[in-house]
């Protein structure tokens, strides 16, 4: 194995080596001087605020550990499940059991959910402030999606040609109103939106109530989010825009770093104070190590044009121009599935956050395409 010449290696390590090297020494000094800065760390399912100087952290959970997420996402995934079975059949058409068995297996699940899906379940069991007053309509949206999917599955088990993607598009995913009153593309988008409305509302309220000094905040989006290829940049990680918008722009956007290879944490770790203290220091060192070169560069190259990060310039999802802009909603659904950089929630996240910020964090007033403008209760009664 090649070994660099010793004197050159010594010079190299004088800057980048262990704790006594020039780079780590500057980082350590900056850490010491800013030990009281608030540190906000978000992972794939939890967010924690470390106030600084050893103060106990506070945490809020979202996604799978919260009420309503599994219930709504189960419905969002129904059209996807049909599409995956259709693709399975397309790839192995002679393996009839390979596609019939999972397709038929959806029917008892649909039946059980239909029995559980009543307004009172959404009111008492899920019981989310974000859904207050909309529980009956949510139950009707779910019932409509279950009915439409069950009917299509039963027909496809008799006529396998209905699993061709042209037939699916024309009769299930994106049919005209005469075939299906509301497309499954619309119900997918609506249920994605509803799930994220709760997340954005709760995290937004929690951040607002945390008293964070945003000008000094150190913010990390840490670890893997969603697919291994997703959420590694500002534009592809929904938490970046949520935190920045909730700060009302008071947090300098360049103080938030996405660190996909950094460690995550779970609720259980908050019972182990020693482990938490160690984890906080790991996060602080990581953030400050990143920050050191930024601050040095600003002084080192002060007489040259600066790099200015703009969150708004990072946003690249198709804009939604109103409740009936189904084309934009479907374009977003397609984007998140075809672009491995995107978190699935990105099809709705920026839209929901913008609407919540616009209306003062009132979730019931977020206009949701495929939900707000549809009378599902009338459709189910019919």
**For residue 108, pLDDT beyond 60:** yes
Provide mean pLDDT across the span 321-344: 95
Rounded to whole angstroms, the Cα distance separating 305 from 174 reads 49
CA distance 373 to 174: 17
How high is the pLDDT of residue 65?
62
d(CA 177, CA 179): 5
- Distance of alpha carbon 150 from alpha carbon 144, whole angstroms: 10
Of the two residues 316 and 104, the one the predictor is more confident about is: 104
pLDDT at site 201: 96
Confidence at 273, pLDDT banded by 50, 70, 90:
confident
CA 136 to CA 120: how far, in whole Å? 8
CB 320 within 8 A of CB 329: yes
- pLDDT tens-place string over residues 181-205: 999 999 999 999 999 999 999 999 9
Residue 159: its pLDDT value, please?
98
Residue 275, pLDDT above cutoff 80: yes
Stretch 298-303: mean pLDDT? 94
* CB burial string 129-154: b at 16+ within 10 A, e below: ebbeebbebbbbbbbbbbebbbebbe
pLDDT of residue 246: 95
Kindly state the percentage of the chain with pLDDT values over 70: 98
> How many Cα atoms are found within 13 Å in the side-chain-facing hemisphere of 304?
6
- How far CA 228 is from CA of 285, 337, 349, in Å, comes to 24, 14, 19
Stretch 277-304: mean pLDDT:
95
Tens of pLDDT, residue by residue over 139-179, are: 999 999 999 999 999 999 999 999 999 999 999 999 998 99
In this model, does residue 382 exceed pLDDT 60?
Answer: no
**Per-residue confidence (pLDDT) for residue 313, from 0 to 100:** 73
Buried b (16+ CB within 10 A) or exposed e, 209-227: eeebebeebbbbbbbbbbe
The pLDDT value given to residue 44: 86
pLDDT of residue 219: 98
Between these two residues, 240 and 272, which has the higher pLDDT value?
240
Give the residue, 215 or 226, on which the prediction is more confident.
215
The tokens for 179 are 């075939």
Average confidence (pLDDT) over 24-43 = 96
Relative to beta strand 39-42, strand 256-259 is unpaired
| Residue 67: band (very low, low, confident or very high) from pLDDT cuts 50, 70, 90 | confident
Q: What confidence tier does 64 reach under pLDDT thresholds 50, 70, 90? A: low
Please state the pTM of the whole predicted model.
0.91
- How many CB atoms neighbour CB 174 within 10 A? 16
d(CA 127, CA 206): 18
The torsion angles phi and psi of 54, rounded to 5 degrees, stand at: 80, 0
Taking a C-beta distance cutoff of 8 angstroms, is the pair 371, 194 a contact?
Answer: yes
- Average model confidence (pLDDT) across the chain: 94
CB atoms under 10 Å from CB of 309, counted, come to 12
Region 45-70: mean pLDDT is 87
């Amino acid at each position: 194995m090649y070994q660099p010449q010793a004197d050159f290696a010594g010079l190299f390590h004088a800057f980048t080596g262990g704790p006594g090297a020039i780079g780590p020494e500057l980082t350590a000094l900056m850490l010491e001087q800013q030990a009281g800065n608030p540190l906000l760390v978000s992972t794939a399912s939890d967010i924690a605020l470390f106030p600084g100087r050893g103060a106990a952290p506070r945490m809020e959970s979202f996604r799978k550990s919260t009420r309503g997420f599994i219930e709504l996402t189960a419905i969002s995934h129904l059209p996807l499940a049909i599409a995956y079975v259709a693709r399975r059949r397309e790839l192995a058409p002679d393996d009839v059991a390979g596609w019939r068995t999972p397709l038929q297996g959806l029917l008892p699940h649909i039946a059980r959910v239909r029995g559980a899906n009543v307004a009172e379940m959404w009111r008492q069991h899920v019981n989310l402030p974000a859904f207050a007053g909309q529980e009956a309509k949510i139950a009707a949206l779910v019932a409509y999606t279950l009915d439409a999917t069950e009917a299509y599955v039963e027909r496809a088990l008799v006529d396998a040609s209905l699993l061709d993607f042209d037939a699916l598009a024309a009769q299930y995913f994106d049919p005209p109103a005469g075939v299906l009153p509301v497309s499954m593309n619309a119900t997918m988008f609506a249920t994605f939106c509803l799930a994220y409305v709760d997340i954005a509302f709760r995290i937004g309220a929690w951040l607002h109530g945390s008293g964070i000094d945003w000008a000094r905040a150190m913010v990390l989006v840490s670890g893997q989010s969603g697919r291994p290829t997703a959420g590694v940049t500002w534009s592809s990680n929904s938490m970046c825009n949520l935190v920045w918008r909730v700060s009302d722009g008071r947090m300098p956007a360049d103080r938030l770093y996405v660190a996909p290879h950094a460690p995550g944490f779970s609720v259980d770790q908050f019972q182990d104070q020693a482990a938490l203290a160690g984890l906080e220091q790991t996060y602080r060192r990581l953030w400050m190590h990143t920050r050191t070169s930024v601050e040095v560069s600003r002084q080192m190259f002060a007489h040259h044009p600066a790099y200015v990060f703009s969150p708004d310039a990072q946003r690249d999802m198709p804009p939604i121009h109103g409740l009936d802009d189904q084309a934009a909603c479907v374009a977003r659904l397609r984007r998140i599935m075809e672009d491995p950089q995107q978190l699935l929630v990105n099809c709705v996240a920026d839209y929901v956050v913008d609407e919540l910020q616009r209306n003062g964090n009132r979730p019931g007033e977020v206009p949701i395409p495929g939900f707000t403008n549809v009378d599902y209760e009338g459709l189910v009664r019919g």
